[in-house]
Chain A
Amino acid sequence: MAKHRYADALALALGEEMDKDDSVFIIGEEVGQYLGTLQVTKGFLAKYGPNRVVDTPISEVGIIGLGIGSAMAGLRPVCEMMRLDFSLPAYDQIVQHAAKIRYMFGGQFKVPMVIRGPSGVGRQLSAQHSQALEVLFAHIPGLKVVVPATPADAYGLTKAAIRDDNPVVIIEALRMYFEKPEALEAIQPGLSEIPEGDDWIANIGEAKVLREGKDVTLIGYSTMTISCLRAANLLAQEGISAEVIDLRSLLPLDMATPLASIKKTHRAVVVQEQWGMYGIAAEISAQIAERGFYDLDAPVQRVTGAFVPMPYSKALESLAYPHEEDIVVAAKRTLGGK
């Protein structure tokens, strides 16, 4: 199995799907001539030409609308948002149109499109460029939302999203993009590996146990999965065995995997980067309460970001989203510690 960086895994997946299927094309700002804002589509324009690698004006409504219409007409567009925050001008196209068309017309049309782009806290990008907006998509029937944390899933879920016949939003973990394979391997061996051969793709809607443990279940997605693994390493030093579950997909949501884990550990910590109010962690916690209440030995703990727009100053920014130390504290709380 080859080791990859997250961004390279995305590029690999996109390229392979374009090679395999002529109806797949990429459209977005700076994807072609500029070689991609974060170089994910480097070399694509030269290889596939301007009909399949489409540079656009700064017109997100147009990009998504073009995606929807061409998908209805049988193509497989991959719409890149330079940052997922910039999808908001096009939120109407996504929510009112892409997500509704299948149902509203009684199943006559399908919208096999992908909306993808980096998301979450970066390096002091402040309020308008640091959000983790997955809840805005995961709230909408008709959309699928995947949240790859690892290079393997950046690869496997991107390929699965392109082949899916529904509109799929890929929430890419900006802070994982350029993590070196060695750095990932140091957190957990195998973390940078992508399965090879046999046309492997990930299944959308399957969570995964990334690390086995018996005392407490840490549930994360995207960058927070990596923080959970780091927390598990810290907990292990104190003799606490944490199981780490990577959700991988928020819509559809696999609750069977976390519930099975909680049956074993009896404790759960749910982690998300953005503020917790009405968030993803709230949904997971509610489902645990409904379906796993009698397996629990302690209240479910949520670890989430502060309920504030992202501040710029490094000093404040690092207080605004969860770190592994916060997860450790929450895990200990479920174990009766303070």
Chain B
Amino acid sequence: MARAATAAPPASHATAKNGSGKEADLDIKKLDAKKYLRFYEQMVHIREFEELCDHAFRQGTHGIGGYLHLYSGEEAIAVGIIGAMDVENGDAFIGHYRDHAYALAAGSEPGEVMAEICGKATGCSKGKGGSMHICDAKLGFYGGYGIVGGNVPIALGLAWAIKYRGENRVCACFFGDGSMNQGGFHETLNMAQLYKVPALFVLENNGYAMGTSIERSHANPNLASRVESYAMEYHVINGQNIFEVHEQVAAIVESMRTNPRPVFLEMKTYRYHGHGAADTQVTQSTYRSREEVEDWKTHRDPIRLAEQALMEAEILTEEERERIHTEAVEAAKAALKFSDDSPDPSPDELLTDVYV
């Protein structure tokens, strides 16, 4: 029997009680092979996209400025959760500034995402928002936001609108561990539970907010348990394992449709790059070791774990694997080329979109 490779989070990630009480024990052969091949492919595409962004930023010639926050290492979360939603039919999601992957996982045009990161007229936000402010209204992506915790109260409103209209939709809200120390986060969770809105609060616990570890910034480092005070249902999930992420979240999302309520998910994960482009090897050395990063890359990489499991289950062949990687590299390059070939926003764009 093929099993999802399990990767226990290391001790530095405080463990929380899993609200569902279930340990993931998945027989991959019984799962939807086509779906997981697609998820695997998506994760590889996102990884190559992000790595090319990093490279293009360093080249300095493609128009990328600002901070540039990359998602490498966390792909299974965006792919597995957005993959559990029906973004074409009214499910909504909203994120923070580490946001390229949300759009790509939902199926946004990679060229338009890249063009936004490069500040081009063809970018999804017309070059006005940049890397931190990707969005795709037609796919229910209500945008990436730059103020820590700023997107969380907005998710309450998105979910409220679903409830108001009596739809069986859900709204997912992605945010980092740093957000849980903002006051607005706590107002939001209380109200969400009070009003029973269908909001899925997705904590991407990557162990750090910029250079500050969980232990140095949360009096109670068992983050999921913090929502117990709002009497909210919560689950702790290994965010590095696409099978665990998707199977659990898909079941939760479906149950939210018939039984509308907020649910909090703590996804244990890790970011490979510095916080943003300004967080160099030197600044990273103030808060984490290279060994720690390497350990995650070697033992808990979401792509590698998926690859192993899919190959063991004979769902993915070596040739397929190679084809997917080659295509992902090409797709990322094509996105950058689309951006490079695109014009800058025209000067009259400066004054448009301030008002409707």
Could you list which residues of chain A lie within 8 angstroms of chain B, going by C-beta atoms?
A: 29-30, 33-35, 37, 55-61, 85-86, 88-89, 122-129, 306-309, 311-316, 319-320
Contact = CB atoms under 8 A, between A and B. Distances in A.
Contact of B127 (A308, A312, A319): A312
6 contacts: A33-B286, A34-B287, A127-B128, A128-B150, A129-B146, A314-B344
Given A126-B132, A307-B354, A316 B181 contact: no
Contact of B182 (A89, A124, A126, A313): A89
Contact of B350 (A58, A61, A124, A306): A306
B61 to A, nearest CB: 12
A59 B65 contact: no
Nearest to A56: B217
B148 interface: yes
Contact of A316 (B133, B179, B184, B350): B350
B344 A125 contact: no
A311 B216 CA distance: 35
Contact of B146 (A34, A126, A306): A126
Contacts of A34: 210-212, 283, 286-287
B350 A126 contact: no
Contacts of B344: 313-316
Interface string B113-130: 000000110000101111
A320 B182 contact: no
Contacts of B182: 58-60, 89
Contacts of B148: 58, 86
A313 B119 contact: yes
B181 A57 contact: yes
Contact of B133 (A127, A308, A315): A127
Contacts of A309: 128, 354
Interface string B201-223: 00000000111100011100000
A33 B66 CA distance: 24
A313 B149 contact: no
A35 B280 CA distance: 13
Given A34-B283, A57-B212, A128-B147, A313 B181 contact: no
Contacts of B132: 126, 128-129
A309 B350 CA distance: 9
A60 B210 CA distance: 15
Interface residues of B, number: 44
Nearest to A315: B344
Given A124-B130, A311-B127, A30 B210 contact: yes
Contacts of A30: 210-212
A306 B350 CA distance: 8
Contacts of B350: 306, 308, 311, 316, 319-320
Contacts of B64: 124
A110 B345 CA distance: 50
Interface in B119-172: 119-120, 125, 127-133, 145-150
B184 A89 contact: yes
Contact of A312 (B130, B147, B184, B351): B130
**Of listed A58, A125, A312, residue having the most chain B CB within 10 A:** A312
B181 A58 contact: yes
A106 B56 CA distance: 59
A313 B351 contact: no
B128 A123 contact: no
A29 B212 contact: yes
A125 B211 contact: no
Interface string B262-298: 0000000000000000000001001100000000000
B86 interface: no
A33 B284 CA distance: 11
The 10 closest A-B pairs by CB, nearest first: A124-B65, A312-B130, A313-B119, A57-B181, A34-B211, A315-B344, A313-B127, A57-B217, A128-B146, A58-B178
A61 B182 CA distance: 8
B210 A89 contact: no
Contact of B119 (A56, A122, A124): A124
Given A34-B286, A314-B65, A59 B119 contact: no
Interface string B61-94: 0011111000000000000000000000000000
B210 to A, nearest CB: 6
A105 B345 CA distance: 53
Given A30-B212, A58-B181, A126-B132, A311 B345 contact: yes
Nearest to B179: A58
A129 B354 CA distance: 17
Contact of A89 (B63, B145, B183, B354): B183
A97 to B, nearest CB: 14
**Of listed A29, A58, A85, A89, residue having the most chain B CB within 10 A:** A58
Nearest to B278: A37
Nearest to A319: B350
Given A33-B287, A34-B287, A312 B217 contact: no
A312 B65 contact: yes
A127 B145 CA distance: 10
A24 B66 CA distance: 33
Given A29-B210, A313-B63, 12 more contacts: A33-B287, A57-B209, A57-B212, A58-B148, A58-B178, A89-B183, A124-B64, A124-B130, A127-B146, A128-B145, A312-B133, A319-B347
